[in-house]
Amino acid sequence: MASSLIFSLLALLFISRALADIVPASPPVAPETVCNVTLYPKFCKSMLPRNGQGDIHAYGRLLVSQSLSSARKFSALVDKYLGKQSTLSKPTILALKDCKLLAGLNMDFLLSTSSTLNSPKTLLGDRTEDLQTLLSAILTNQQTCFDGLEAASSAWSVKNGLYSPLSNETKLYSVSLTLFNRGWVHKKIKRRKLLFSDTKPGHLSLIMSSRNREILESVARRNLLQTNSDSVVVRDIVTVNPDGSGNFTNISDAVSAAPNNTNIDDGYFLIYIASGVYEEYVSIDKKKKNIMMIGDGINQTIITGNRNIVDGSTTFNSATLAVVGQGFVAVNITFRNTAGAIKHQAVAVRNGADLSTFYSCSFEAYQDTLYTHSLRQFYRDCDIYGTVDFIFGNAAVVLQNCNIYARLPISGQFNALTAQGRTDPGQNTGISIHNCKIKAAADLASSNGTMKTYLGRPWKEYSRTVVMQSFIDSLIDPTGWNNWSGDFALSTLYYAEYNNVGPGSNTTNRVNWTGYHVINATDAANFTVSNFILGGDWLPATGAEYTSGLL
């Protein structure tokens, strides 16, 4: 214990002195004072030196460093259990593999965060938003690992061995995020917050209108567009066609051909997917950055699978398309999971790719259709079909100009459009539904049943969802929102509505929870493309149309 304390004190002193000239000095503060603003004061105090004082930045760097070390140990522990697969059930093995993937991402995110916090060039720059996003995603990854193990009922022995490390890491990550928010976020460069704005025109229609392979190939390695200063830059193009006339007959092979760890300044690796039904599971891993997939249109280019939790998959790994690689763009494609409502959780798309965009796409399943897992995401002009919790996850996500269709659930179920999974008040995450249409799908509209449909329910304690300037049809129950279990999260969630229209938009009989709000334009502006996901910084490169502020 004594040697550990001395090491911590020396590390804190070294970091404070080495970076004294990088960040404006903050007044020294006792660990007790710093820790009292976190969710876990007692745990926080146990991680900081007991004697002496540092400033908020030194404490923050120290805890990020400790988080990285802890993530490495946890990954090694998961490997240890995976080394005993012969003694484990299939659901347990799948849950552990999910944990392994997520632990690897956490190590990447923490390494990037630590490197940036110790760099003199970016501490007070725009990377503040990036680091807050990464630290938020680390907590999400941790929770996803825990949820997967919890769902694998046969994993009790593994859970028993991993519960304590998972719990302690969650506390450590939460404290690190809180101290980062306290030490850096309020010091970030102030951006001009947009309230109302014009729509930024998209140019992808110029790409989408051309189905001729020769035309697509003619624009390889140069700008696709030369309209003013807006252009979608492409480094290479490959085509996928099941008839054998393209470069590949399946999508996964085309993804494998993409170069690793590319820079967006060098352009997208464009995969043109001809019309057809592709029965395959497509994975865009973390090395496959800046991939753009363009199909021939909704219900023309279809990617379909049927993995589901009833048949032994984890929710996380049930996705027909799973995306992790940063900068992913999909256009004119339908993504399906055909397992059906009776198979419960069955994901069409799981998206954990930062700065990702889906434009003019369709997502079709029942329970858990679109898993907006983590980081920053944008959806425009998309169709989303489902029943229970069919837009869920813990990304910072804006869905704009989308059609959200509730389908007919199985007997005994009700529909919930959203189940947002924010577990910590410091996370910059939530679901923003802006200028969308919320309607009943044909099967629900034609049914004579009494199936209730709600805007959402709180999956996690700090669930955050905003519906604004959207059309809400009569399918939505007058109360608007439903609970998860008793009074869980009703005082800590943030659910809000702003200036919606349609027969289901009347807020008179909405829930009276502490966390529910009818907001004004100033508050609603916080959840726009410009302010919530900083879309103006990265969406122009995608060519997708977007509205930066309120209408």
Residues carrying an active site annotation: 389
Which residues are CB-neighbours of 484 under 8 A, at least 6 positions away? 419, 457, 458, 459
DSSP letter at 45? Answer: H
Q: Where does 333-435 show beta strands of DSSP type E?
A: 334-337, 349-351, 356-359, 362-364, 370-372, 376-380, 383-386, 391-393, 396-400, 403-406, 415-420, 430-434
Spell out the SS3 assignment of 137-181.
HHHHHHHHHHHHHHHCHHHHHHHHHHHHHHHHHHHHHHHHHHHHH
3-state class of 72 per DSSP? helix
Spell out the SS3 assignment of 16-31.
HHHCCCCCCCCCCECH
Interior/surface letters 189-202, b for 16+ CB within 10 angstroms, e for the rest: eeeeebeebeebeb
Burial (CB < 10 A; 0-12, 13-18, 19+), residue 99, is buried
CB-CB contact of 308 with 336 (8 Å):
no
Which residue in the block uniquely carries the two structure tokens 């680091």?
Answer: 131
3-state class of 207 per DSSP? helix
CB-CB contact of 365 with 385 (8 Å):
yes
CB-CB contact of 402 with 381 (8 Å):
yes
Alpha carbons 434 and 402: distance in angstroms, whole number: 8
Question: What DSSP letter does each residue of 455-497 carry, written as one string?
Answer: EE--SSTT-EEEEES-EE-TTB-TT----SSTTTTTTT-EEEE
Question: What DSSP letter does each residue of 297-342 carry, written as one string?
Answer: -TTTEEEEE---TTTT--STT--SEEE-STT-EEES-EEEE-S-GG
Q: Which long-range contacts (CB under 8 A, 24 or more apart) does 347-351 make?
A: 347/307, 347/315, 347/316, 347/318, 347/319, 347/320, 347/371, 348/319, 348/320, 348/321, 349/319, 349/320, 349/321, 349/322, 349/323, 350/316, 350/319, 350/321, 350/322, 350/323, 351/323, 351/377, 351/393, 351/395
